[in-house]
Structure 1
Amino acid sequence: MKTHLITGAANGLGRELSRQLIAQGDSVILLDKDMKPLVQLYDELEEIAPQKAFLYPIDLLGANIDHYKEFGEILTKEFGELDSVFLNAAILPAFTPIEHFDYTQWYEVLHTNLNAHFHIIQQTLPLLLKSGGNLVAVSDSAVHETPAFYGAYGVAKCGLEQLMHSVAAENSASRMHCFIAELGAFATESRGRLFPGENPTQITSAESMVQALLSQMQAHTLLQGKATLINL
Structure 2
Amino acid sequence: MFDYEIKENSLHNKVILVTGAGDGIGKQAAKTYAQLGATVILLGRTVDKLEKVYDEIVEAGHPEPAIVPLDMKGATKQNYIDLVNTIVDQFGKLDGALLNASILGELTPFTTIHEQTFDDVMQVNVKAQMLISQALIPALVESKGSLVFTSSGVGNKGRAYWGPYSMSKFATESMMELIADEYEDTGLRTNAINPGGTKTPMRATAYPAEDPATVATPEQIMPLYVYLMSDDSKEINGQTIKAQPQRK
Counterpart amino acid of residue 231 in structure 1 = K
Is structure 2 residue 106 aligned with structure 1 residue 101? no
1:140 aligns to 2:148 (yes or no): no
Mark the CA change 1:212 to 1:50 in structure 2 (over 3 Å): closer, same or farther. Answer: closer
Check if 1:22 corresponds to 2:34: yes
Unaligned runs of 5+ in 2: 1-12, 244-248
Which residue of 1 is the match for residue 83 of structure 2? 71
C-alpha separation in 2, matches of 1:126 and 1:192 = 37
| 1:124 and 2:136 matched | yes
Kindly indicate whether residue 241 of structure 2 is the aligned counterpart of residue 230 of structure 1. Answer: yes
Please state how far the C-alpha of 1:214 moved relative to its aligned partner: 2.2
User: What do the CA deviations read for 1:143-197 (whole angstroms, capped 9, x no partner)?
Assistant: 4345221111111111111111111111122111111112211111221122121
Work out whether residues 92 and 153 of structure 1, in 8 Å CA contact, stay in contact via their aligned partners in 2.
yes
- 1:73 deviation in Å? 2.2
Q: Which residue of 2 aligns with 1:187?
A: 199
**Residue 28 of structure 1 aligns to a residue in which SS?**
strand
Q: How far did 1:220 drift?
A: 4.3
Per the alignment, residue 213 of structure 2 pairs with: 201
Scaled by the length of structure 1, the TM-score of the pair is 0.92
Q: CA deviation at 1:43?
A: 1.2
For residues 188 and 137 of structure 1, what CA distance do their matches in structure 2 show? 17
Query: Which one is further off, 207-216 or 20-29?
Result: 207-216
2:5 — aligned with what?
none
SS in structure 2 at match of 1:67: helix
2:69 matched to 1:52? no
Identity of aligned pairs, percent?
27
Does 1:168 pair with 2:180?
A: yes
**Does structure 2 retain, via aligned residues, the 8 Å contact 1:96–1:151?**
yes
Residues 25, 218 of structure 2: 8 Å contact kept: yes
Contact 2:24 2:200 in 1 (8 A): yes
Aligned partner of residue 34 in structure 2, secondary structure: helix
Superposed CA RMSD? 1.8
- The SS at the match of 1:186 is coil
Q: Distance in 2 between matches of 1:49 and 1:118?
A: 34
Contact 2:141 2:188 in 1 (8 A): yes
Mapped to 2, the partners of 1:69 and 1:143 lie a distance apart of 28
What TM-score comes out, normalization by structure 2 length?
0.87
Is the counterpart of residue 7 in structure 1 residue 33 in structure 2? Answer: no
Post-superposition Cα deviations, 1:110-145, rounded to whole Å, max 9, x if no partner, equal 010111111111111111111111000111123434
**Aligned residue for 1:33?**
45
Deviation (angstroms), 1:217? 6.1
